[in-house]
Amino acid sequence: MSMRELVTGGAACAVPGSSSSSSNPLGALANALIGSSSKTQERLREIPNAAAPTSDTQFYSQVDDSVAALPGSELDRPFLHSNAQGSDFIRGLRSFDDNGLADAWEEIQRQPHLDHLYDPAAAPIQPTLDGPPQRVLSSFLHSFVDSSRSGIPLHPTPLPLLGLSQGDKQCIRDRSSIMARHFFADKSEDFINAQVNALLSSLEIENDVRARGPVPGRFRELEDYWNESQGILKPGARSADGWVTEFSQYTAQHGDTNAWVRSFEQQHGASSWASEFEQEQAQLTSIDHLNGGDVANLAAIEQTRMLAHTLSQNDDPKFQVKPASGSWATEYQQQYNGGGTWADEFVHNEVFRGPDQWVNEFATERERHEQADDQWVNEFSKLHVDDWVEEFGHQVGEGILGDTSSDNWANAYDEFLNEQVAAKQRSDASSGVYVFSDMNPYVGHPNPLKEGQELFRKGLLSEAVLALEAEVMKNPENAEGWRLLGITHAENDDDQQAIAAMMRAQEADPTNLEVLLALGVSHTNELEQAAALKYLYGWLQHHPKYGTLAPPELGDSLYYADVARLFNEAAQMSPEDADVHIVLGVLYNLSREYDKAIASFKTALKLKPNDYSLWNKLGATQANSVQSADAILAYQQALDLKPNYVRAWANMGISYANQGLYEQSIRYYVRALAMNPKADNAWQYLRISLSCASRNDMLEPCDSRNLELLQKEFPL
C-alpha cells in the first residue's frame, strides 16, 4: 500500500481495486505530489507485523511509515480526525485543504460508492484511527494473539488515546472474545477471560454486560423467549445481547447451555412434566396448531437421539449404494414417513433445545391466536408449570383455542407414540438388549429348538424367530439356540436383533467361532468398526489353529491394520481354510477396499461353493463397489442354493434399483416381503422404487402393506 493509492483512492473510495490511477482525476495530482517516494513507502509497509517494534517510542519514531500502515482504513469516512497525531505528511496534506484538495476529496467521498449504498450501517463503525495509533493498536493486538503461544498472560498496558468509536470497541470486544476461545483453547476459562479483559481494559473498552457475550453457548431460545415474554421483540435487532451475556455468565462453559434445562427439570421434574402433559393431551388435541414436536420436546430429547439412532441403523451397508439414485435424503425421509410432517418436526429437534423452545412456540402460537393475555404470559414466564396447566385447561375450557381437525392431530400423536415405542425397542436392541416378541405361540412348545430349526430350513424366518425365542426363554443358557436366533435375524434383515441374540450366545459360549464371526459380520454391517474388530480378533484368538498368531496384549488396542495383518498371516498359513478368507473379506469391507474383499470372497467360494450366505456377501460387496450387475449374478447363486433367502431377495431388489431398473426391483422387494412382511427396510425401499417407477397408484397398497394386491400387480 502506498501513498499513491492512499490519495488516488486505489484503496480508498470510488474506484476500489483500481490499479491504474488514470480513471481518477486525483491520480495525476497525487503522482505529482508524491512521486517516487511511494515506492519507498511500499517497501516499508512490507515489514511483517511480527517484526513490528514493540515499545511506544519506536511506534512514534516511525511516524511516516505509520501513514502507510493505513491502507484503506479511511474508507467511507473523513480522512483525518482532530486527534490526528503529528505526522508531518498529514499536516502537509491538510494544508492542501485550502488549495482545494479538500473539495476534491469531499467529492470522492460523495461519489456513489456501492459499498456505501448497500451498506448504510457500515459507515459509522469505520475505524477512526490515524497513523500512529493504528500501529499501536496493531502491535497491541499482535501481542494479544501472540500470548496464546507464549502462555505469558497479557497485562493491562496504558496506551495512547486511540480514538476508537463505540462501534470499533464493540468489534474488538466481540471478535476478540470469540477468537480468544479458539487460540487459547488449552487454557482455563479464567485465563481466557483475564486475557480478554486485559486487552479490553488497555483499550479502554468496558467489558460490561452490554457486550456480546464472551462465552460460547449463548442461548438463542432463551433470548427469544425473553424478548417475547417481555413483548419487546424487535426482529433483526440483537437487543437482548446484554441480557444474554448476563445469562451466559451463569453458564461457565457451553457444556452448560443445558443448565437451564436441567434446573427446570430439577424444579419441576422432567417426567412429571411429561406425565402432566399426557394427562392434558385430551384437551390438547383441540389445538392442531400447537406443534406437537415442540410440545413433546422435553420428554423427547432422549427419544430424539434414539430415533436418530434408529434412522442410522436402518442404513445397512448392504444398502450402501442407494436405491433411489441421487436422493439419500429422501431415504432418511422415508424412515419417518409414518409420523408425517409432525414426526419430521420431532426428528429435527435438536439436542440442545430445552422446553424453552416449546415456550417460544407456544408464545408464538398464542400470538397467532391473538390472545395477548399479558397476565398469562407473565404467569407463564415464571415457569410455573402447574399454573400453566391450570391456565391452559381453563383456556381450553373456554374454547379460546381453535378446534379444527383435531382428529388429525390425535392420530399423529398416536402414530408418534407408536413410533416412540418402536424406537425404544430398537434402541434397546442396539444397546445389546434382546427384545422378545409379544404373544409367542411357541411358548410351551415341547421342542421349540427343533421346530425353529425346521422353520429356518423352510425359510419361514419370522416364524423361526418365534420358535427360537421360545427356546431361549426356556433355556437361556443354550448358546446354539441364541446363535440360530441370531442367524435367523441376520437372514431376516434385522442386524440389531441379530447382534443382541449373538451377544447372548457369546455370553453362553464365549469361544464359539461361528458366533464370533457372525458378530463381526453384523457389526460390519452396522459400520461399527471397533466392535467388529473386537469380535473378528476374538475369532482368531479362539481358533485352535490360529490362536497362536494372536498376541493377547493386542486385544486392548485393536487397530484395523494389525487385525488385517494377522488374518493375512493366517491365510498364508492355511490357504485352504475358507473361513479365513471370509473374515478377510469382511475386514476389507470395513476398510472399504471392495476389490480386495471381492477377491477374498471369491477365493472362499472356490473352497465353499455351496455357502449361500457367502454368495450373498459377495453380492453385497459387489453392490457396494458399484458393480450391481455382477452383484445380481451372485445373489442369483445364493437364491439358487436357498430359494427362500429373504435377505438375498431384498438385496437383489436393491441392485436392480441401483441400475435404475425400478420395475424389476419392485418385484424382488415384493417377493422378499411376501416371505417376511416385517422387514421394515424392505417396505421403505419398495416405496422408493414405486415412486421412482412412477407407480404412485401402488403407494397406498404399499403404505397399508397390502401384500396380496402388490403380489398380484408385481408377480415375479
Partner 1 sequence: MPVFKTPFNGYSVRFSPFYESRLAVATAQNFGILGNGRVHVIDLSPTSPIINELIAFDTADGVYDVAWSESHDSVLVAAIADGSIKVYDTALPPHSNPLRSLKEHAREVHGLDYNPTRRDSFLSASWDDSVKLWTLDRPASLRTFREHAYCVYSVAWNPKHADVFASASGDCTVRIWDVREPGSTMIIPGHENEILSCDWNKYDDCLIASASVDKSIKIWDVRNYRMPVSVLNGHGYAVRKIKFSPHRRNLIVSCSYDMTVCLWDFMVEDALVGRYDHHTEFAVGVDLSVLVDGLMASTGWDELVYVWQQGMDPKAA
State which of positions 351-390 bind partner 1 (CB under 8 A): 351-352
**Exposure on the CB side of residue 382, measured as CA atoms within 13 A:** 9
Which of the stretches 58-66, 219-227, 468-476, 574-582 binds partner 1 when contact is defined by CB under 8 A?
219-227
- Closer by beta carbon to partner 1, 125 or else 274: 125
| Residue 97: Cβ within 10 Å count | 14
Which of the stretches 80-88, 344-352, 405-413, 576-584 binds partner 1 when contact is defined by CB under 8 A?
344-352
Q: How many residues bind partner 1 (CB under 8 A)?
A: 96
- Closer by beta carbon to partner 1, 48 or else 100: 48
Q: Pick from 40, 44, 45, 428 the residue near partner 1 by CB under 8 A.
A: 45
Is 332 a binding residue for partner 1 by CB under 8 A? The answer is: yes
DSSP, residue by residue, 253-315: SGGGGGHHHHHHHHHH-HHHHHHHHHHHHHHHTT-SSS-HHHHTHHHHHHHHHHHHHHHHHT-
Triad 661, 667, 670: Cα angle to 5°: 135
Is 495 a binding residue for partner 1 by CB under 8 A? The answer is: no
Is 188 a binding residue for partner 1 by CB under 8 A? The answer is: no
- Closer by beta carbon to partner 1, 126 or else 644: 126
Tell me the three cell numbers of residue 528: 461399527
- Side chain identity, residue 305: R
DSSP, residue by residue, 581-609: HHHHHHHHHHTT-HHHHHHHHHHHHHH-T
Give me the least distance between CB of 373 and partner 1, in Å please. 27
Q: Pick from 34, 154, 295, 308 the residue near partner 1 by CB under 8 A.
A: 308
- Closer by beta carbon to partner 1, 124 or else 547: 124
Q: Pick from 345, 469, 491, 579 the residue near partner 1 by CB under 8 A.
A: 345
Is 172 a binding residue for partner 1 by CB under 8 A? The answer is: yes
- Closer by beta carbon to partner 1, 16 or else 701: 16
Which of the stretches 251-259, 360-368, 503-511, 578-586 binds partner 1 when contact is defined by CB under 8 A?
251-259
DSSP, residue by residue, 344-365: HHHHH--TT--HHHHHHHHHHH
Q: Pick from 110, 155, 175, 210 the residue near partner 1 by CB under 8 A.
A: 175
User: What gap in Å lies between CA 541 and CA 696, rounded to an integer?
Assistant: 53
Please report, as residue ranges, which positions from 116 to 155 form the binding site for partner 1 (by CB under 8 A).
117-119, 121-123, 125-127, 134, 137-138, 141-142, 145, 148
Q: Pick from 16, 402, 432, 701 the residue near partner 1 by CB under 8 A.
A: 16
Angle between helices 578-590 and 612-624 (to 10 degrees): 30
Give me the least distance between CB of 209 and partner 1, in Å please. 18
Please report, as residue ranges, which positions from 515 to 544 form the binding site for partner 1 (by CB under 8 A).
526-530
Is 557 a binding residue for partner 1 by CB under 8 A? The answer is: no
Give me the least distance between CB of 318 and partner 1, in Å please. 12
Q: Pick from 31, 63, 181, 447 the residue near partner 1 by CB under 8 A.
A: 181
Instruction: Count Cβ atoms within 10 A of the Cβ of residue 345 and give its class: 0-12 exposed, 13-18 middle, 19 or more buried.
Output: buried
Is 340 a binding residue for partner 1 by CB under 8 A? The answer is: no
Give me the least distance between CB of 476 and partner 1, in Å please. 28
- Closer by beta carbon to partner 1, 171 or else 707: 171
Q: Pick from 66, 109, 257, 676 the residue near partner 1 by CB under 8 A.
A: 257
- Side chain identity, residue 125: I
Triad 492, 495, 500: Cα angle to 5°: 115
Task: Tell me the three-class secondary structure of 366-400, residue by residue.
Answer: HHHCCCCCHHHHHHHHCCCHHHHHHHHHHHHHCCC
- Select from 263, 267, 273 the least CA-distant residue to 295: 273
User: What gap in Å lies between CA 486 and CA 521, rounded to an integer?
Assistant: 12
User: What gap in Å lies between CA 539 and CA 556, rounded to an integer?
Assistant: 15
Give me the least distance between CB of 603 and partner 1, in Å please. 23
Is 185 a binding residue for partner 1 by CB under 8 A? The answer is: yes
What is the distance in angstroms between the CA of the first residue and the CA of the last residue of the chain? 76
Please report, as residue ranges, which positions from 400 to 459 form the binding site for partner 1 (by CB under 8 A).
none
Is 239 a binding residue for partner 1 by CB under 8 A? The answer is: no
- Closer by beta carbon to partner 1, 316 or else 579: 316
Q: Pick from 44, 52, 63, 179 the residue near partner 1 by CB under 8 A.
A: 179
User: What gap in Å lies between CA 173 and CA 155, rounded to an integer?
Assistant: 16
Give buried/exposed letters for 144-182 (b at 16+ CB in 10 A, else e). Answer: bbebbeeeeebeeeebeebbbeebbbbbbbeebbeebbe
Is 289 a binding residue for partner 1 by CB under 8 A? The answer is: no
Give buried/exposed letters for 208-219 (b at 16+ CB in 10 A, else e). Answer: eeebbbbbbbbb
| Residue 572: Cβ within 10 Å count | 9
Q: Pick from 40, 230, 327, 406 the residue near partner 1 by CB under 8 A.
A: 327
Give me the least distance between CB of 699 and partner 1, in Å please. 19
Q: Pick from 6, 7, 11, 623 the residue near partner 1 by CB under 8 A.
A: 11
Tell me the three cell numbers of residue 393: 385447561
Give me the least distance between CB of 357 and partner 1, in Å please. 10
Is 161 a binding residue for partner 1 by CB under 8 A? The answer is: no
Is 216 a binding residue for partner 1 by CB under 8 A? The answer is: yes
- Closer by beta carbon to partner 1, 243 or else 332: 332
Tell me the three cell numbers of residue 318: 448392504
Binding mask 100-119 for partner 1 (x = CB under 8 A): --------------xx-xxx
Q: 357-362: which pairs have CB atoms within 8 A and are 24 or more residues apart?
A: 357/221, 357/294, 357/297, 358/294, 358/295, 358/297, 358/298, 359/221, 359/225, 359/229, 360/221, 360/224, 360/225, 360/228, 361/290, 361/291, 361/294, 361/295, 362/290, 362/294
Is 296 a binding residue for partner 1 by CB under 8 A? The answer is: no
680 with 494: CB under 8 angstroms? no
Is 649 a binding residue for partner 1 by CB under 8 A? The answer is: no
Is 17 a binding residue for partner 1 by CB under 8 A? The answer is: yes
Is 64 a binding residue for partner 1 by CB under 8 A? The answer is: no
479 with 509: CB under 8 angstroms? yes
Is 191 a binding residue for partner 1 by CB under 8 A? The answer is: no
- Closer by beta carbon to partner 1, 5 or else 471: 5
